[in-house]
A and B are shown apart, each in its own frame.
Chain A
Amino acid sequence: MVNVIDNSGAAVAECVKVLKMKRHARIGDRIIVVVQKQRNFGPESGGAVSVSAANKVRRGDIRHAVVVRTTKKWQRPDGSVVKFDDNACVLINKGGEPIGSRMNSVVGKELRDKKWSKILSLAPMHL
């Protein structure tokens, strides 16, 4: 289970496949997820109709995503180690463009090395 931190409408997703790899994913890796939980955009949006209108994805959708945070410690080339409290991802389409238009929390800096600078520029903070 990974948190989805963009405004695509998904809140929690489940990783079903790590692409181009036969092992675990780390920050910047592309994965396939199944959306498990939808996000509710505040009480003022109200009603199931508006929720579905705001959400670009629905529960049960199979989407591509990029891992942006991991709870597993990751050692960087300079010797520092980074570890987040949760696993998080950002949904993308097949072409690699993010589905959401904004992101709401910190992401790992490894995205730059993996050529995900579009996601990095959307993030409010990167570490």
Chain B
Amino acid sequence: MSTPTHCIRPLGPLKQALRQCRAERRSYATTQELYPSLQTRYPPPTPGFRPSQAMKQNRFEEGMKKIPVAQPPRSTLKACPDPIAAVTASQLTTLDPTGARARLFAHSNPDRVQPGDILLVRLKNSTPFSGICLNIRQRHSPIDTAILLRNQLTRIGVEMWFKVYSPNVESIEVVQRKEKRARRAKLYYLRQPKHDVGSVEGVVRQYQRQRMGGPVGGGKNAKGRDANAGRKKNNQRGRN
């Protein structure tokens, strides 16, 4: 019998369940009065109560926690205020113990090397190189001082940079000074064919003869002899 009723009213049992639930709820309001054990022990909170605020107010303040850390290392600034200068000085004492090289390029020295001078650089393991000084480069510290020499070898222009304090440089000699002080610090214009002075080998050779104490020019015979001597020297250099 029930089956046909369901077919006619499919939501019949559901309606009945809802009705029952509503009746139970109505009776629940009365249960608290009926059973005092189910009532809350504390009065309900006041309307403005905020639990988070209350927790903050009741917390015991004890400040930041101290974390044990290692002591910072001693400042190296106090130990050595200018390490670069110290290193430079120590290097200079080893590379230039007499201070002659430094004096050759010191600004305080009126006879210092200046651009335009003809210099002869003797090297430890190579042939000496001579040329016109085009540029003296002093970077941040005197130890970096370098010179740019230009010369013509077999009619080919050659330029070389030499570090002044290099252990490979045996000596730097001033062969000839520029008569008039150059009005530029860098004589790069000497690379132009218009201004090129060509080879300075002749000047250097004469200077070397003078230093050796040989004859300096003179009569026709002497000239011829000198020319031969020069050629011999040149050959030697070529063979090296």
Contacts and interface: CB of A to CB of B under 8 A. Distances in A.
Interface of A: 69, 73, 75, 78-86, 88, 104-106, 109, 124-125, 127
Interface of B: 126-127, 129, 146, 153-163, 166, 168, 191, 237-238
B154 A106 contact: yes
A81 to B, nearest CB: 4
A16 B95 CA distance: 46
Contact of A86 (B126, B156, B159): B156
Contact of B159 (A83, A88, A124): A83
A82 B166 contact: no
Grouping DSSP codes into helix (H, G, I), strand (E, B) and loop, the B interface class, with mixed when no group exceeds half, is strand
B160 A80 contact: yes
Given A78-B168, A80-B168, A106-B153, A127 B162 contact: no
B158 A82 contact: yes
Grouping DSSP codes into helix (H, G, I), strand (E, B) and loop, the A interface class, with mixed when no group exceeds half, is loop
Contacts of B157: 84-86
Given A78-B168, A79-B166, A125-B238, A105 B160 contact: no
B163 A105 contact: no
B205 to A, nearest CB: 15
16 contacts: A69-B156, A79-B166, A80-B161, A80-B162, A80-B163, A80-B168, A82-B160, A83-B160, A84-B159, A85-B159, A85-B191, A86-B156, A88-B156, A104-B154, A125-B153, A127-B158
B197 to A, nearest CB: 13
Give me the 3 closest cross-chain CB pairs, A-B, nearest first.
A85-B157, A81-B161, A105-B154
Contacts of A75: 161
Given A69-B156, A84-B156, A105-B155, A125 B163 contact: no
A127 B129 contact: yes
Nearest to B163: A79
Nearest to A104: B154
Contacts of A81: 160-161
B156 A124 contact: no
Most buried by A among B153, B155, B166, B237: B153
